[in-house]
Amino acid sequence: MTASYPGFEPWREFPTLSIAEYAQFQRLIYAEAGIALSAAKQTFVATRLAPRVRDLGLPTFGAYYRRIVGGDVDELGRMLDAIAINETQFFREELQFDLLARECCGEWSAHAAAGARPRRLRVWSAACSTGEEPYSIAMVLHDRLATAGWDIEIIASDLSTSALERARAGVWSVGKLDRVPTPFMKRHFLRGEGPQAGRAKIGPAASGMIEFQRINLRDDRYPVTGSFDAIFCRNALIYFDAASRAHVIERLISHLAPGGFLFLGHAESLIGTSYPLRSVMPAVYRLSAMAAAGAP
């Protein structure tokens, strides 16, 4: 007789993800998210999806695949959440935030003072993960522009619904905030007490600027209107193949205002391409001031 211990169950091996099953998931993930997974990612996918196979009581990865393609939309979302890599941090790629704070905000302020533009700014964080990027943007723009009476709107989007839930909550362990400059910590974070000790929550000044929504960059049309003065799409394009990458870049450019800035990740370069962009610094580009914004 097997001993029974409350809260524990007999050890069960996870099912094996076969090459044929992995090929099915590769095609499905590419079709739904534009993420091109190489053969080397088979173990990664198996590890990420095995808990869902187990929790649903399914015998194989093939059964899990059939459940998804059979019309389980909620499970499709959970699968994409599991595959999405949500690695991020506050003020990642610090030089880009220096550019935003000094040159971009400085130019926008000068143009507004000269009557060349309204004191209104729109920014899109197009792969926002768990929120560190858009909150970093919000803190910079609040201190540089909002305190001077600017109306600032930040759209923050991601494919992963679970990442967006964490982003909306805006709560982190204090150890995750070591890259946040001390002045921003004092102005924009609330320190947890009692059961929340060791945690911090973003304050209303920054969070009030941001609207979170789920957007799949693979889609032909994005559910955003108007144009943006700056778009951040960092460390997302590296997961796409060349065709998907071009598709996303073209869609993003169509939502940039003339003269708008496109911020990419340090490993993402547009050098040698024919887009109407010029390089400002590594991984930061600017749309020609004469270009017409093509946002629907």
Query: Residue 167's domain is classified under what CATH number?
Result: 3.40.50.150
Q: Which residue has the tokens 């490993």?
A: 267
CB 228 within 8 A of CB 260: yes
In a domain, 295, yes or no: no
How do beta strands 284-287 and 277-281 pair? Answer: antiparallel
In a domain, 89, yes or no: no
Q: Residues 13-36: pLDDT tens digits?
A: 667 899 999 999 999 988 888 788
The verdict on 62 and 109 lying in the same domain is: no
The verdict on 118 and 63 lying in the same domain is: no
Looking at the annotation, which residues are catalytic?
A: 48, 158
CB 137 within 8 A of CB 150: no
The verdict on 63 and 193 lying in the same domain is: no
The verdict on 77 and 100 lying in the same domain is: no
> Which strands, in side-by-side order, build the sheet including 199-202?
171-173, 199-202, 189-191
- Six-digit token pair at 198? 């060791």
Specify the 3-state DSSP secondary structure of 284. Answer: strand
* Mean pLDDT of the region 207-215: 95
- The answer on pLDDT for 9 being more than 80 is no
For residue 40, give the CATH number of its domain. 1.10.155.10
In a domain, 296, yes or no: no
Looking at the DSSP bridge assignments, the partners of residue 158 are 214
- The answer on pLDDT for 215 being more than 70 is yes
The verdict on 108 and 78 lying in the same domain is: no
In a domain, 11, yes or no: no
In a domain, 278, yes or no: yes
pTM exceeding 0.85 = no
The verdict on 101 and 197 lying in the same domain is: yes
- Six-digit token pair at 226? 């108007």
Domain that holds residue 74: 19-83
The verdict on 116 and 230 lying in the same domain is: yes
Q: How far is CA 200 from CA 109, 131, 189, 212, in A?
A: 32, 14, 6, 20
The verdict on 78 and 102 lying in the same domain is: no
pLDDT at 292: 45
- Point out the domain boundary residue: 39, 59, 83: 83
In a domain, 275, yes or no: yes
The verdict on 137 and 267 lying in the same domain is: yes
- Point out the domain boundary residue: 49, 83, 117: 83
- The answer on pLDDT for 293 being more than 50 is no
In a domain, 187, yes or no: yes
Residue 219's pLDDT band (cuts 50, 70, 90):
confident
The verdict on 25 and 70 lying in the same domain is: yes
Domain count along the chain: 2
Q: Residues 112-170: pLDDT tens digits?
A: 999 999 999 999 999 999 999 999 999 999 999 998 899 999 999 998 888 899 999 99
- Point out the domain boundary residue: 59, 83, 107: 83
- The answer on pLDDT for 294 being more than 80 is no
- The answer on pLDDT for 39 being more than 80 is yes
The verdict on 33 and 174 lying in the same domain is: no
The verdict on 43 and 67 lying in the same domain is: yes
- Six-digit token pair at 253? 């450019």
In a domain, 88, yes or no: no
